[in-house]
């Protein structure tokens, strides 16, 4: 059967996985007039797409991630209007506590223009609830957005169902081949398949995961209640963030910053810390995060990681009282490249963000993959990574 012809079940596209990339693929196919079924092994998504900050950090991305991020931005804004997704046009705040951190921001501002608004120490003190005198400066990134991941994924799925996309939940996928998906509830015949199962790609395609170096990355995260001296009006990044995200880490000043951070705080460097914060609609803060990688991640979380997150939050905000509301472990796919994009067999497409920017880039990634097999040619200026279709 031709991969472009609908199967006996009447579906043009089957999407395996209902995280943000899977839902993005269903949205992209549905908008192009395709008949879509989404297959989800759980009763609802419980993976990386609901365990993150909800920080849609478009400006800090570089290369292909930036192009997918900018495409995602327009799609997120549309979903806020059409699907009831809670979204804040918040921008991002970045606190620079040392001159080398401000140097990174200054470098990025020189190349990104109005996308990066530098703040003086006084302006940073006025806009961020930091301990007084903490910041030597900072930045505001006005194009960034914030979602509530727990609400956003559910709202998008409900929007798709109202529009006629079929969901088959509590249904496991055992094998995928051209034109057919074998599930625990029987086979589904389709025209095309998009497999968007993130780190579980090794369960269906172990050789692909090995070839791309895809492993699991586990994160320690928490939600806290704290009385800050002013509300946190936007997601907040710190110096540790400046050595993680592509646009920051590519600046001339980033190498010296990384060297200083690792020399001064090897304990935090060992946790692979990204010290950042977002405020949820109920006023609580998401605090995180640490990173550890392996083919299998231990379910046992060391208390030292959480103690470090709490201690750093108290120091940054100058507070003594901080109540932990929830703790959890995030897990996402991690690989040398940012994305897995591959047509592994005729009509079978693999799509994953293989770094921790799925919420930021996933909708754009999914739209690109679907546009490719519906005959469109997105105007991406960056060459796809080795192995991509």
How much is the pLDDT for 82?
A: 96
Examine the domain organization and report whether 364 and 295 are in the same domain.
no
Q: pLDDT band for position 365 (50/70/90)?
A: very high
Q: Is the pLDDT of residue 229 over 50?
A: yes
Q: Which domain holds residue 208?
A: 11-71+148-212+336-373
Q: Is the pLDDT of residue 1 over 90?
A: no
On whether residue 267 sits in a domain, the answer given is: yes
Domains: count for the chain: 2
CA torsion, points 68, 69, 72, 76, in degrees to nearest 10? 170
Alpha-helical runs (H) found in 14-146 = 20-31, 63-82, 99-112, 121-127
Examine the domain organization and report whether 160 and 288 are in the same domain.
no
| Cα-based angle 9, 14, 20 (whole degrees, multiple of 5) | 150
Per DSSP bridges, beta strands 276-279 and 236-237 are: antiparallel
On whether residue 388 sits in a domain, the answer given is: no
Examine the domain organization and report whether 238 and 206 are in the same domain.
no
How much is the pLDDT for 318?
A: 97
Examine the domain organization and report whether 303 and 194 are in the same domain.
no
What integer is the mean pLDDT of 56-78? 97
* CA-based R_g, the chain, Å: 21
Q: Is the pLDDT of residue 386 over 50?
A: no
What integer is the mean pLDDT of 167-195? 97
Q: Give the bridge partners for 216, in sequence order.
A: 294, 333
How much is the pLDDT for 3?
A: 46
Q: pLDDT band for position 385 (50/70/90)?
A: very low
Please name the residue that has the structure tokens 């705080």. Answer: 265
How much is the pLDDT for 158?
A: 97
On whether residue 323 sits in a domain, the answer given is: yes
How much is the pLDDT for 46?
A: 85
- Element (DSSP H or E) covering residue 311: helix 303-317
The CATH code of the domain that includes 261 is 3.30.9.10
Examine the domain organization and report whether 133 and 228 are in the same domain.
yes
How much is the pLDDT for 48?
A: 87
How much is the pLDDT for 184?
A: 97
Q: Could you tell me which residues come within 8 angstroms of residue 264 by beta carbon, excluding any fewer than 6 positions away?
A: none
Convert the pLDDT of each residue in 273-311 to its tens digit.
999 999 999 999 999 999 999 999 998 999 999 999 999
Convert the pLDDT of each residue in 87-139 to its tens digit.
999 999 999 999 999 999 999 999 999 999 999 999 999 999 999 999 999 99
What integer is the mean pLDDT of 257-268? 98
Q: Is the pLDDT of residue 347 over 80?
A: yes
How much is the pLDDT for 9?
A: 53
CA torsion, points 144, 293, 316, 140, in degrees to nearest 10? -20
Examine the domain organization and report whether 119 and 203 are in the same domain.
no
How much is the pLDDT for 4?
A: 42
How much is the pLDDT for 378?
A: 54
d(CA 352, CA 333) in angstroms, rounded, equals 8
Examine the domain organization and report whether 66 and 96 are in the same domain.
no
Residue 6 has what DSSP assignment?
-
Reported as half-sphere exposure (CB side, CA atoms, 13 A), residue 269 has a value of 11
Examine the domain organization and report whether 234 and 290 are in the same domain.
yes
Examine the domain organization and report whether 189 and 308 are in the same domain.
no
Percent of the chain whose predicted confidence (pLDDT) is above 90? 91
Rounded to two decimals, the pTM is 0.93
| Mean per-residue pLDDT over the chain, rounded | 93
Examine the domain organization and report whether 207 and 167 are in the same domain.
yes
On whether residue 82 sits in a domain, the answer given is: no
On whether residue 181 sits in a domain, the answer given is: yes
Q: pLDDT band for position 44 (50/70/90)?
A: confident
Position with higher pLDDT, 240 vs 376: 240
Examine the domain organization and report whether 305 and 369 are in the same domain.
no
Strand ranges inside 68-214, DSSP E: 87-88, 92-96, 117-120, 137-141, 145-147, 166-168, 173-177, 180-183, 186-195
Percent of the chain whose predicted confidence (pLDDT) is above 70? 94
**Measured on CA atoms in the order 43, 48, 52, 56, is the torsion positive or negative?**
negative
Examine the domain organization and report whether 29 and 176 are in the same domain.
yes
Q: Is the pLDDT of residue 384 over 70?
A: no
Q: pLDDT band for position 45 (50/70/90)?
A: confident
On whether residue 5 sits in a domain, the answer given is: no
Convert the pLDDT of each residue in 4-29 to its tens digit.
444 445 899 999 999 999 999 999 99
On whether residue 115 sits in a domain, the answer given is: yes
On whether residue 6 sits in a domain, the answer given is: no
Q: Is the pLDDT of residue 380 over 90?
A: no
The CATH code of the domain that includes 37 is 3.50.50.60
What integer is the mean pLDDT of 215-238? 96
């Amino acid at each position: 059967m031709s991969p472009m012809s609908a199967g006996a079940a009447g579906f043009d596209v089957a999407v395996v996985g209902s995280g943000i990339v899977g839902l993005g693929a269903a949205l992209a196919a549905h908008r192009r007039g395709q008949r879509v079924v989404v297959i989800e092994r759980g009763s609802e998504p419980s993976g990386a797409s609901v365990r993150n900050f909800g920080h849609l950090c478009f400006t800090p991305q570089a290369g292909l991630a930036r192009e997918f991020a900018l495409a995602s931005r327009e799609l997120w804004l549309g979903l806020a209007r059409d699907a009831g997704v809670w979204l804040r046009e918040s921008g991002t705040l970045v606190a620079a506590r040392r001159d080398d951190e401000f140097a990174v921001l200054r470098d990025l501002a020189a190349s990104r223009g109005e996308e990066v608004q530098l703040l003086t120490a006084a302006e940073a003190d006025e806009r961020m609830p930091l301990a007084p005198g903490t910041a030597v400066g900072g930045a505001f990134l006005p194009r960034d957005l914030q979602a509530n991941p727990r609400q956003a994924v559910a709202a998008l799925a409900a929007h798709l169902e109202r529009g006629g996309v079929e969901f088959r939940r509590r249904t496991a996928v055992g094998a995928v081949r051209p034109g057919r998906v074998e599930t625990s509830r029987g086979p589904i015949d389709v025209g095309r398949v998009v497999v968007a199962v993130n780190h579980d790609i090794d369960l269906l395609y172990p050789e692909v995961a090995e070839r791309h170096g895809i492993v699991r990355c586990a994160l320690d995260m928490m939600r806290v209640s704290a009385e800050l001296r002013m509300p946190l009006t936007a997601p907040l990044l710190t110096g540790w963030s400046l050595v993680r995200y592509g646009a920051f880490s590519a600046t001339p000043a980033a190498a010296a910053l990384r060297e200083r951070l690792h020399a001064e705080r090897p304990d935090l460097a060992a946790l692979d810390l990204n010290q950042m914060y977002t405020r949820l609609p109920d006023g609580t803060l998401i605090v995180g995060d640490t990173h550890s990688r392996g083919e299998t991640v231990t379910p046992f979380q060391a208390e030292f990681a959480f103690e470090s997150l709490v201690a750093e939050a108290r120091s940054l905000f100058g507070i003594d009282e901080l109540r932990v509301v929830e703790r959890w472990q995030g897990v996402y796919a991690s690989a040398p490249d940012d994305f897995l994009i591959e047509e592994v067999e005729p009509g079978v497409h693999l799509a994953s963000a293989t770094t921790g920017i799925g919420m930021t880039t996933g909708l754009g990634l999914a739209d690109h993959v679907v546009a490719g097999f519906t005959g469109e040619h997105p105007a991406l200026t960056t060459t796809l990574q080795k192995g991509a279709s």
